[in-house]
Chain A
């Protein structure tokens, strides 16, 4: 095959891949700004672009108290989950990397063991315990449950990050008079920040669209996260365009959060330290 045909084939494959990724997003976006006649066409082909693009679905969502409450709860839960999992997971990862003690791999495997079960299985004992501890129907309870799911990932991501930070940096800080805590907070953490940001994004996304644990823990109260609210709204069989608008609203914070934190994710943060 010549280089030129090779290039053409690659291009076609790329276009196909982009289409596969973009198409659902486009459909979601298109529906969210569709007017009623572009959705309920009475047998006509649904148009590629709505007849009268409108923001009225968003307006009605934003006017809905339960939607606003759920958005705020979701944000609170997600940010709290990020905080809890980073505060617990990062030092744990550091200890696992730096203080090689017997059985360290067993410990690491145990850490991730909750994820070996399907969520729907794992949720039962968790809900049971949380119920006894009176942690249901609360933001902190859901955030703790989400942390339970995300800590293993944070630990593994952070372990990878810490392994790339040369021990020399700590030893140098130690010789210059820094305590272990000082060198961890002033040297290791700042250097690890870009990698930990990746972990933070991961936790945020996991919490933001987590449904099963949230649903079990919030089933009997007024509190809802967005996915739980979506489920409640679905039970009234609403129009496609309203659902699409909720989906768009669900996606927006994810996109914003990713962009904000991505700033810290530039490659080669440790460049210049050693070599």
Chain B
């Protein structure tokens, strides 16, 4: 297993720049996820690491060896494609053993390794099937087995779960996590699904427009987004954003919009943020706005309740996604099912301002230093 290091990696196409000045270190045995909206350059980055795309400028090191010019087969990497790319005319065993056969391993060794992979992925009984006769989940496992059987230093996964149905996706997610724990492989995983990114990775790298915007442990990225983009992209349902102004008034600081006036708790203000009268975007996650009666609301310390009107309630079982309005402002909230939110009825909510994020209105960069 190995470290992967990208230094100022750039990929230019004749008309566009897909990846710009990417600096990223994926540590040995780390599960790193590249996440971002489609077209952000994450797949291109993965394909450059695989050697399927040339690097326009910058350096790629795999296991401390400059790999820019090394052909894919000599990079000690494996890749699982979104489409699985199983060879349709070969059986499961032949598919899994393909890489070893090319590397001219002995017949005994190949049989041994294929058996190992078949055990690892619970593929017993399917050895002589061809891909056409496999279910989606089985194809997925064969693709993973084929990638791992060659003992790669780095395993690259390009949206491997996106073709599976929801139930299977959860199962394979757990499976991937188990494999990672069991083998300690360095894994670079590409997805546009931030839930996958959060739940699987040791660290996530959020990309947007060909640039790396934030790298960190999933919870750190979740709790402290460095930009409005990251705040909005990570977390489901999405963070609420409010455009407004910071106003100082009678020894207190408020965030004021057309429809709302919210007071900052003293301690967060004392930690300094921008200037008074600055125009900012305030971000607050759905779970940090609670109905007045809930225990969560009572522990936040904020007492001012705000009147809102419930618009839509989407019950998820363990909690409800509630959309409320106040004037022109629309907020998405997460309530417990006991909240008693009913469409078109007014209710009182409490904003936990100690959990808020402030972003520069123009650049979207984080202001609050908490």
Contact = CB atoms under 8 A, between A and B. Distances in A.
Nearest to B75: A175
A221 B136 CA distance: 62
B69 to A, nearest CB: 15
Interface string B131-144: 11110100100000
B88 interface: yes
A173 B136 CA distance: 21
A191 B89 CA distance: 7
B73 interface: yes
Given A271-B88, A272-B132, A175 B103 contact: no
Contacts of A255: none
Interface in A164-178: 166, 168-169, 171-178
Given A171-B52, A175-B79, A272 B73 contact: no
B84 interface: yes
Contacts of B83: 166, 168, 273-275
B85 interface: yes
A178 B87 CA distance: 13
A268 interface: yes
Contacts of B166: none
A171 B99 contact: no
Interface size classification for chain B: 20 to 34
Nearest to B152: A175
Nearest to B86: A273
A15 interface: no
A75 interface: no
Nearest to A174: B72
A273 B88 contact: yes
B358 interface: no
A166 to B, nearest CB: 6
A173 B99 CA distance: 8
Given A271-B132, A272-B131, A272-B139, A175 B73 contact: yes
B132 A169 contact: no
A269 interface: yes
Contacts of B99: 176-177
B163 interface: yes
Contacts of A190: 89
Interface of B: 50-52, 72-73, 77-79, 81, 83-89, 98-99, 102-103, 130-134, 136, 139, 146, 150, 163
Interface of A: 166, 168-169, 171-178, 182, 187, 190-191, 268-275
16 contacts: A168-B81, A171-B72, A171-B79, A173-B87, A174-B73, A175-B72, A176-B99, A176-B150, A177-B150, A182-B102, A272-B133, A272-B139, A273-B87, A273-B88, A274-B81, A274-B84
Given A174-B72, A175-B73, 12 more contacts: A166-B83, A173-B98, A175-B72, A176-B78, A176-B99, A178-B73, A178-B102, A191-B89, A269-B89, A270-B88, A272-B131, A275-B84
